[in-house]
Amino acid sequence: MKNLYLIGVGLIGGSFALDIKKKYPDCKIYGVDTNGAHLNDALTLGVIDEKANVEDVYNAEVVFIAIPVDVTLTVLPQILDYISDETLVIDAGSTKEAICLSIKDHSRRRNYLAAHPIAGTEFSGPNAATYNLFQNKTNIICEVEATAFKLQEKALGIFRDLGMRIRYMNPKAHDKHIAYVSHLSHISSFMLGKTVIEKEKNERDIFDMAGSGFESTVRLAKSSPAMWTPIFKQNKANVIETLGEYINNLMHFKSLMENEDFEAVYKEMKKTNHIKSILSGIK
């Protein structure tokens, strides 16, 4: 790869760029971002080699889009308008159905690969970019058949070089499954943090008494609301359905406590311990 245009120089885009630099030392990386401070930081940190504009992507070999999903709906069609016929365009959004629908009739649909690398941290911005973020992480590819075969092969080669595992899924199924395993986790973390902040007015008490369990559970509440609000909006139907099931389980657990049925409480937790074997099998 000779050049890469990075649309969004934050955690995901920046980490992608760092690994590309390591795997493809001759690749020149151009950064595009509406946040001027982020662009300057990315340049200073060596995440990108040069600043650029969206219109410049006609020169691109590969374009990697890592911006909020609502902005992707507007920017992706523009990028497809500007690129050459040989350019590969990849997005890394956490929702896929709305994004795929937004360009389904575009004349350069074949240049676009819909992807979602299941990777990230609770931090944001180019300062959060890190090497090997995608190593051994699952990358979900949607509607692969709509992408030109030669560009599919190019993308899969890049993903393999970055150490990602590939799984194929249609956009609707992706959005439903990701609501359970990712979006619900973030909402739970935000609302746990909210509950504690509202009830524990003394911040020092929170700091002193918070154990590792609380810290790990609330970690995702440090995530960017600017990124997550559009995700919840785009995946609203699935998130609401998932929340309903989660709330029902919480209410059921509460009723067991109220009825002092601690044998049932034990059984609920014991049954859920099975999650350990599921998660250990995907490491």
pLDDT in tens, 182-233: 999 999 999 988 888 777 666 666 556 565 667 777 888 888 899 999 999 9
- Give the pLDDT confidence of 38-94 residue by residue, as tens digits: 999 999 999 999 999 999 999 999 999 999 999 999 999 999 999 999 999 999 999
- Say which amino acid occupies 238: N
User: Sign of torsion, CA 73 77 78 80?
Assistant: positive
- Say which amino acid occupies 269: M
Q: pTM of the entire structure?
A: 0.87
Choice between 141 and 201, residue whose per-residue pLDDT is larger: 141
As assigned by CATH, the class of the 173-280 domain is mainly alpha
One-letter-per-residue 3-state SS of the chain: CCEEEEECCCHHHHHHHHHHHHHCCCCEEEEECCCHHHHHHHHHHCCCCEECCHHHHHHCCEEEECCCHHHHHHHHHHHHHHCCCCCEEEECCCCCHHHHHHCCCCCCHHHEEEEEECCCCCCCCHHHCCCCCCCCCEEEEECHHHCCHHHHHHHHHHHHHCCCEEEECCHHHHHHHHHHHHHHHHHHHHHHHHHHHHHCCCHHHHHHHCCHHHHHHHHHHHCCHHHHHHHHHHCHHHHHHHHHHHHHHHHHHHHHHHCCCHHHHHHHHHHHCCHHHHHHCCC
Return the minimum-mean-pLDDT range out of 2-6, 38-42, 276-280. Answer: 276-280
Confidence of residue 275 (pLDDT cuts 50, 70, 90): confident
User: What's the pLDDT score for residue 222?
Assistant: 87
Same fold, 3-169 and 173-280: no
User: Does position 281 have pLDDT exceeding 70, yes or no?
Assistant: no
Provide CATH code, domain 3-169.
3.40.50.720
Return the closest-CA partner of residue 60 out of 34, 27, 33. 27
How do the domains of the chain map onto residue ranges?
A: 3-169, 173-280
User: What's the pLDDT score for residue 54?
Assistant: 95
User: Does position 269 have pLDDT exceeding 70, yes or no?
Assistant: yes
- Give the pLDDT confidence of 161-196 residue by residue, as tens digits: 999 999 999 999 999 999 998 999 999 999 988 888
